[in-house]
C-alpha cells in the first residue's frame, strides 16, 4: 500500500564511474555514490546547491534592495536630488535582474481564478525536513508563475524537498489512485515510475508500442516484483502517434475499465537525432505528433470524459515531460519544438476551459543516463558513440561532468524526483496553479556544456589510445623475448557453450510384469494382433523434454532451443559439402542452407518459435493463413 523502499531502493543511488584499464579498455560502471548511500542522503544532496554559478534568489535580492530603499527614504539628511539618484541606481539594479521594481513587488501577486492559494497548504510533517539555503537555488527546485515569468519559489521548493524526504524515510501511498503512463519501455524513466506507483498500491494503465508475449511477460514480472496490496496493472497496445489510438485508449479506460484517472504521464518519445532544418522528414513529423499534438489530444479526450460525467471535483494531474534542450545542441529534428511547445499549456491552463479538470506539473528533466544517449544532448552523444560501439557515450563523460558541479541522474533517481511531484500535497497545489519543477541538476546553468563534454570525451579517448598502444608494444616485446607459445598461455580463450543432448533409454518393465498377459494365451491369434510400442510425446511445446523445460523454467535450455528449432523445421542436420565447397557437419538453416552455430539458435529463432508454439488462440485469420 505504501511506496515500499525495500523493493524500490535496492540499487539506489549510484554514480557513474569511468575507468581505463591498462589495455586501454574504457569500462563504465555504476558505483555506489560516495556519501549518498541512502535516499535521505540523496534528498539532502538535492537540497544543496551546485558549484555552477547558480542564479540569485531574486526574491531575496528584491527584499534586501527594498529594505535599503526604505532606509534611504527615512534618512532626514538626504536631499531630493540624492534620493532621485539613488532611485535611478536602484532601478538599474532591478532592471539588471530583469524583474519588476518595488511598486510591482508591493502589489500582491495576481492569483489566477478564485482558487485556494498554494500557501494555504500545510507542509507535510517530516522530522528534520530538508534545509535550503536562503540565497542559492537547490539542485532540484520548483518555480511558480509570477506575472508572465516563472520564478524560483522558496516555499514550493521547501514543500517539495520535504515531500522527497518524507518519501525517502517513510514512503507514500498511491492507494485507490489511477494512473496512465505511456513510454515505459525497458530502461526508460517511465518504467521506474511504474515500479514506484505499483509499490504504492496504484492501479496503473501502461501502454506499449511493442505488444508481444515477451513484452507482456516483462511487465508481468515487474508487477510480480513490485505490486503491493490494491495495485493493478493493465497493459494496452498503443501508438501515441495515432489520433485513433489516443481516443480509443481514453475510451477504453473510462468506458471499459470504468476508471477515472488521477495521473497522466505521457512519456512516450522518439529520438530524432541527425536532422537539421533541411532534413526534417516524416519521422520528425511523426515524433512531433506523438510528443506534442497527441499529448494535447490525450488531455483533451480526458477532459471530455470528465466533463461528460460531470467529474468536477476530481481533477487529473498531468506530468509534462519537458526538456532543457531548446535547440541547444541542434541536430534533433523537431524534438526541441515539441518540448518547448508543451510549455504553452501553462498559459492555456488559465486561458482555456479545462483547468477545472486537469492540473499541470511540468518536469524539466535533466540528463538521465540510461542505456543510450540522453535526450538533452542526444545528438552530441550519438556522434561520440559512433565508432566506439563500446558504451553509452553519455555515461562516458558524466563522471567528469559532475566534477563541474552539475548532477546527472539515473532513471531511478529521476523517477523518484517525479514521484515526489505526484505526492498528494503537490497534487493539491496543481489544482490551484500549475507548477514548474526544475529537475536539471544544474545542467542548464553550465556555460559551454558542448565544449566541456567534447573535451572530456577527447581526453578519455586519448588516454585510452595511448594505453592501448603501450599494451600492444609490451605484447610485441613479450612475444619476441619469450616466443609465441609463451604468449598464447596468457591469452584468454572464450569457450562457447554447445548443446549436449542426453537421451536416456526409458526403463523397461521386467518380463514378470507381463505375467498377467499369459492368461490370454490361446485366446487371441497373435498373427492378427497389432501392437503399438514406443515412447514419445508431441504437443504445443514440442516433445516431453521441451514441454518440461517450459513448464519448469518458463524458458528452454540451449538443447531445448535447438530441439524446438529442429522440430519446427527452422534448422536441419547437414553432413556434406556446403555451397562454398567446404566440408561441414552440423546444423544449417533450412531456408538458406547456411550453417548455424548452436549458441545462435535462440537469438535467430526465438521470436518465431515462441510465436508458433505453446497454447494459442486459433482465430479465423490463423486458419485462413494455414
Gap between the Cα atoms of 7 and 548, Å rounded: 31
Angle between helices 558-567 and 601-611 (to 10 degrees): 60
CB of 274 to ligand NAP, least distance (A): 16
Options 368, 435, 550, 613; binder of ligand NAP; rule CB under 6 A: 368
Cβ closest to ligand NAP, residue 204 vs residue 376: 376
Task: Mark the segment that binds ligand NAP (CB under 6 A) among 160-168, 195-203, 368-376, 605-613.
Answer: 368-376
Q: How far apart are CA 31 and CA 29, in angstroms?
A: 6
Q: Which is nearer to ligand NAP, 291 or 601 (CB)?
A: 291
Nearer Cβ to ligand NAP, position 253 or 269? 269
Q: Which stretch binds ligand NAP (CB under 6 A): 265-273, 340-348, 513-521, 542-550?
A: 265-273
Q: How many residues are present in the chain?
A: 626
* CB contact at 8 A, 346 and 434: yes
Q: Count CB neighbours of 509 within 10 A.
A: 8
Minimum gap (Å) between residue 214 Cβ and ligand NAP:
11
- Write down the least CB distance from residue 156 to ligand NAP, Å: 21
Residue by residue, DSSP assigns 192-227 as HHHHHHHHTT-EEEEEESS-SHHHHHHHHHHHHHH-
Nearer to ligand NAP, 187 or 540 (CB): 187
Query: Which of 270, 361, 380, 422 is close enough to bind ligand NAP by CB under 6 A?
Result: 270
User: Which residue number, 146 or 376, has a Cβ lying nearer to ligand NAP?
Assistant: 376
Residues 6+ positions from 268 with CB-CB distance below 8 Å: 182, 183, 207, 209, 240, 290, 291
| Residues between 213 and 242 with contacts to ligand NAP, criterion CB under 6 A | 238-241
Per the CB < 8 A criterion, the answer to whether 437 and 417 are in contact is yes
> What would the x/- binding string for ligand NAP be over residues 174 to 213, using CB under 6 A?
--------xx-x-xxxx----------------xxxx---
Number of residues that bind ligand NAP (CB under 6 A): 29
Nearer to ligand NAP, 132 or 345 (CB): 345
Nearer to ligand NAP (CB atom), residue 283 or residue 479: 283
Nearer to ligand NAP, 242 or 428 (CB): 242
Segment near ligand NAP (CB under 6 A); pick from 219-227, 274-282, 372-380, 577-585: 372-380
Contact positions with ligand NAP (CB under 6 A) in 279-298: 290
Cell, residue 19: 575507468
Binding test (CB under 6 A) with ligand NAP, winner from 52, 301, 361, 374: 374
Least distance from ligand NAP to the Cβ atom of residue 3, Å: 19
Any idea what the Cα angle at residue 573 is, between residues 570 and 578, rounded to 5°? 100
Q: Work out how close the CB of 417 gets to ligand NAP at its nearest, in angstroms, rounded to a whole number.
A: 12
The binding track of 139-178 with respect to ligand NAP, each residue x by CB under 6 A or -, is ----------------------------------------
Stretch that binds ligand NAP, among 268-276, 456-464, 539-547, 615-623 (CB under 6 A): 268-276
User: Which 375-404 positions form the footprint of ligand NAP (CB under 6 A)?
Assistant: 375-376
Q: Is 614 exposed, middle or buried (0-12, 13-18, 19+ CB in 10 A)?
A: middle
Element spanning 234, H or E:
strand 232-237
Give the C-alpha distances (Å, rounded to integers) separating 589 from 40, 148, 447, 597. Answer: 56, 66, 56, 10
* The only residue of 129, 158, 200, 321 in contact with ligand NAP, by rule CB under 6 A: 321
- Least Å distance between CB 573 and ligand NAP? 38
Give min distance, CB of 268 to ligand NAP, in A: 3
| Structure letter (DSSP) for residue 77 | T
> Shortest gap between Cβ of 373 and ligand NAP (angstroms)?
8
DSSP structure string for 547-563: HHHHHHHSS--HHHHHH
Q: Which helix (H) or strand (E) holds 150?
A: strand 149-152
Cis amide linkage into residue 13, ω under 30° from 0 = yes
Q: Closest by alpha carbon to 178, among 306, 81, 287? A: 306
Q: Quote the cell numbers at residue 172.
A: 507514500
Residue nearest to ligand NAP (CB): 185
Binders of ligand NAP in range 322-361 (CB under 6 A): 323
User: Quick one: which segment of 263-271, 504-512, 514-522, 548-556 binds ligand NAP (CB under 6 A)?
Assistant: 263-271
Burial of 561 (0-12, 13-18, 19+ CB in 10 A): buried
Separation CA 376–CA 378 (nearest Å): 6
Work out how close the CB of 150 gets to ligand NAP at its nearest, in angstroms, rounded to a whole number.
17
**Nine-digit cell at 365?**
528533466
Q: Are 26 and 53 in contact (CB under 8 A)?
A: no
Footprint on this chain of ligand NAP (rule: CB under 6 A): 182-183, 185, 187-190, 207-210, 238-241, 267-270, 290, 321, 323, 365, 367-368, 370, 374-376
Amino acid at each position: 500500500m505504501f511506496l515500499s523502499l525495500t523493493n524500490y531502493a535496492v540499487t539506489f543511488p549510484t554514480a557513474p564511474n569511468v575507468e581505463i584499464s591498462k589495455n586501454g579498455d574504457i569500462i563504465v560502471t555504476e558505483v555506489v555514490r560516495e556519501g549518498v548511500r541512502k535516499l535521505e542522503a540523496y534528498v539532502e544532496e538535492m537540497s544543496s546547491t551546485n558549484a555552477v554559478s547558480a542564479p540569485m534568489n531574486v526574491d531575496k535580492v528584491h527584499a534586501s534592495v527594498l529594505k535599503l530603499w526604505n532606509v534611504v527614504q527615512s534618512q532626514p539628511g538626504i536631499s531630493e536630488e540624492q534620493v532621485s539618484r539613488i532611485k535611478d541606481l536602484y532601478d538599474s539594479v532591478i532592471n539588471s535582474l530583469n524583474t519588476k521594481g518595488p511598486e510591482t513587488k508591493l502589489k500582491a501577486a495576481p492569483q489566477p481564478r478564485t482558487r485556494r492559494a498554494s500557501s494555504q497548504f500545510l507542509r507535510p510533517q517530516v522530522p528534520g525536513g530538508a534545509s535550503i539555503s536562503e540565497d542559492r537555488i537547490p539542485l532540484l527546485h520548483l518555480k511558480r508563475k509570477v506575472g508572465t515569468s516563472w520564478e524560483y519559489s522558496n516555499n514550493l521548493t521547501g514543500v517539495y524537498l520535504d515531500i522527497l524526504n518524507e518519501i525517502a524515510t517513510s514512503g507514500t501511498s498511491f492507494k485507490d489512485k489511477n494512473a496512465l503512463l505511456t513510454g515505459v519501455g525497458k530502461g526508460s524513466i517511465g518504467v521506474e515510475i511504474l515500479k514506484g506507483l505499483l509499490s504504492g498500491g496504484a492501479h496503473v494503465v501502461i501502454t506499449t508500442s511493442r505488444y508481444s508475449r515477451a513484452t507482456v511477460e516483462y511487465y508481468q514480472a515487474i508487477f510480480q516484483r513490485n505490486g503491493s496490496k490494491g495495485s493493478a496493472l493493465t497493459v494496452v497496445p498503443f501508438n501515441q502517434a495515432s489520433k485513433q489510438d489516443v481516443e480509443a485508449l481514453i475510451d477504453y479506460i473510462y468506458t471499459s475499465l470504468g476508471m477515472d484517472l488521477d495521473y497522466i504521464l505521457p512519456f512516450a518519445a522518439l529520438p530524432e537525432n541527425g536532422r537539421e532544418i533541411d532534413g526534417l522528414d516524416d519521422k520528425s513529423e511523426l515524433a512531433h505528433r506523438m510528443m506534442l499534438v497527441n499529448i494535447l489530444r490525450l488531455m483533451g479526450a480526458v477532459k471530455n470524459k470528465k466533463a461528460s460525467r460531470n467529474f468536477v471535483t476530481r481533477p487529473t494531474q498531468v506530468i509534462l515531460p519537458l526538456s532543457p534542450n531548446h535547440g541547444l545542441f541542434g541536430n534533433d529534428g523537431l524534438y526541441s519544438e515539441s518540448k518547448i511547445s508543451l510549455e504553452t499549456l501553462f498559459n492555456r491552463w488559465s486561458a482555456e476551459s479545462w483547468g477545472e479538470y486537469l492540473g499541470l506539473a511540468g518536469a524539466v528533466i535533466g540528463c538521465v543516463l540510461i542505456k543510450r544517449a540522453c535526450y538533452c544532448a542526444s545528438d552530441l552523444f550519438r556522434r561520440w558513440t559512433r565508432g566506439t560501439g563500446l558504451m553509452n557515450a553519455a555515461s562516458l563523460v558524466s563522471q567528469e561532468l559532475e566534477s563541474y558541479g552539475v548532477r546527472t541522474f539515473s532513471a531511478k533517481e529521476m523517477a523518484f524526483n517525479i514521484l515526489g511531484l505526484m505526492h498528494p500535497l503537490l497534487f493539491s497545489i496543481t489544482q490551484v496553479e500549475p507548477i514548474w519543477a526544475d529537475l536539471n541538476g544544474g545542467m542548464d546553468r553550465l556555460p559551454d556544456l558542448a565544449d566541456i563534454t567534447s573535451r572530456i570525451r577527447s581526453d578519455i579517448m586519448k588516454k585510452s589510445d595511448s594505453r592501448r598502444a603501450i599494451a600492444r608494444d609490451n605484447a610485441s616485446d613479450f612475444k619476441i623475448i619469450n616466443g609465441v607459445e609463451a604468449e598464447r598461455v596468457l591469452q584468454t580463450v572464450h569457450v562457447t557453450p554447445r548443446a549436449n543432448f542426453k537421451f536416456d533409454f526409458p526403463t523397461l518393465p521386467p518380463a514378470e510384469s507381463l505375467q498377467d498377459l499369459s492368461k490370454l494365451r490361446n485366446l487371441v491369434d497373435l498373427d492378427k494382433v497389432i501392437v503399438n510400442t514406443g515412447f514419445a510425446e508431441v504437443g504445443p511445446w514440442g516433445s516431453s523434454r521441451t514441454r518440461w523445460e517450459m513448464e519448469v523454467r518458463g524458458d528452454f535450455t540451449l538443447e531445448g532451443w535447438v530441439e524446438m528449432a529442429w522440430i519446427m523445421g527452422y534448422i536441419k542436420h547437414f553432413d556434406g559439402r556446403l555451397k562454398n565447397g567446404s566440408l561441414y557437419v552440423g546444423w544449417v538453416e533450412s531456408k538458406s542452407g547456411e550453417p548455424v552455430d548452436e549458441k545462435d539458435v535462440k537469438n535467430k529463432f526465438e521470436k518465431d518459435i515462441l510465436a508458433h508454439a505453446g497454447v494459442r488462440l486459433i482465430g479465423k485469420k490463423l486458419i485462413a493463413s494455414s
